Structure 1
Amino acid sequence: MTTTQLENTVENKPLIETTEQLQRLIDDLINVGAGIHDYVGTQQAYQALIHRFNNIILELSTLSSNNLPYPIPIDVINYIEDGRNPDIYTREFIEVNAKSNARLKGRMQNFGKLRDILGDKLVSEFPDLKETIEGIKTRTSN
């Protein structure tokens, strides 16, 4: 995602700054790779590599000290480090949560049915508790 794709708002400012830092870091890494490939062993080439490595260290320290308003889960970082697509992680995460939500919704509905059946049985056995049981049903229903 490039900074031109992000709307320049106060909420997006940390994300835009982080994106720009990542772009600078990538550029520095490419420059170091080119410098190592073209290294001739002179003092000037050595100093240029040292300067590029210092830029990378500076970018990494600045990047790690950013306080984004939303943390990046370590699982996503591991996913990216393994060379996998974080969009796949997001899709799998959503699918797992959708299944879990469906299961929990079924449980809630079944407990609601159990509450109603148990309440009806209690009212039939103890008619003087009808008001209390109806209050419980009302407070615990969706």
Structure 2
Amino acid sequence: MEPSPPHAAAGNGASLSAAASSTSSESGSGSSDEAKQNLAQVTESIQKSLGILHQLYLTVSSFNVSSQLPLLQRLNSLVTELDTMQKLAENCKIQVPMEVLNLIDDGKNPDEFTRDVINSCIAKNQITKGKTDAFKSLRKYLLEELEQTFPDEVEAYRDIRATSAAETKRLAQSQGCN
């Protein structure tokens, strides 16, 4: 897995399965199933490696001379599983934002990244909505003022706009049927 550049972080979620399904859904449904299967295999390999690491911990914490052979066997199985994981991971095209990796390195929950991205999107959405509402109010105010000064021109403008909207709607409906 290669980390994505920091500027690519805004669109990526912290969930690896979500990132894999969004990446694979762009290239078709056949590769989507393949990507999900690859991700499942990598996840299974990670779980196996964690199990082996737990067994190693138990073996090392109660180490004595008789546990040397099981320790070596578990070390060999860990190396084999890590090699398998590396090979399986080559088939997964998942990009993880650097911010997520930095959070993990700092011992923090990567879900914080997702929460921060969502909160940022909400804030930007509210700002954009405020601007849109302000422009709507300005347009309404200008039309009211223009209507008092140029009533005939405003009426012609509204007729043109209604005709244009009806034509756009008709074109959208005819394209929807095709």
Quick check: 1:88 aligned with 2:120?
no
Gaps of 5+ in 2: 1-32, 166-178
Task: Determine the structure 1 residue equivalent to 2:155.
Answer: 130
- Structure 1 window deviating more from structure 2 (106-115 vs 28-37): it is 28-37
Residue correspondence of structure 1 range 1-142 to structure 2 within 5 A: 13=37, 16-30=40-54, 49=75, 52-67=78-93, 72-126=96-150, 127-133=152-158, 135=161
Q: Distance in 2 between matches of 1:58 and 1:12?
A: 17
RMSD between superposed Cα atoms in Å = 3.9
Kindly tell me: are residues 55 and 20 of structure 1, through their superposed partners in 2, closer, same or farther at Cα, counting changes over 3 Å?
Answer: closer
Report the 3-state secondary structure (helix = DSSP H, G, I; strand = E; otherwise coil) of the residue aligned with 2:89: helix
- Greater per-residue helix proportion: 2
Task: Determine the structure 1 residue equivalent to 2:7.
Answer: none
- Preserved contact between residue 42 and residue 88 of structure 2 (Cα < 8 Å): no
Q: Distance in 1 between matches of 2:41 and 2:80?
A: 20
Higher relative contact order (CA 8 A, sep 6+): 2
Q: Shift of residue 117 of structure 1?
A: 1.2
The number of residues matched between the two structures is 124
- Preserved contact between residue 103 and residue 110 of structure 2 (Cα < 8 Å): yes
- Preserved contact between residue 76 and residue 86 of structure 1 (Cα < 8 Å): yes
Kindly tell me: are residues 124 and 115 of structure 1, through their superposed partners in 2, closer, same or farther at Cα, counting changes over 3 Å?
Answer: same
Give the TM-score taking structure 2 as reference length.
0.49
- Preserved contact between residue 100 and residue 110 of structure 2 (Cα < 8 Å): yes
Q: Shift of residue 109 of structure 1?
A: 0.6
Q: Shift of residue 112 of structure 1?
A: 0.7
Kindly tell me: are residues 18 and 58 of structure 1, through their superposed partners in 2, closer, same or farther at Cα, counting changes over 3 Å?
Answer: closer
- Preserved contact between residue 103 and residue 109 of structure 2 (Cα < 8 Å): yes
Q: Distance in 2 between matches of 1:114 and 1:66?
A: 51
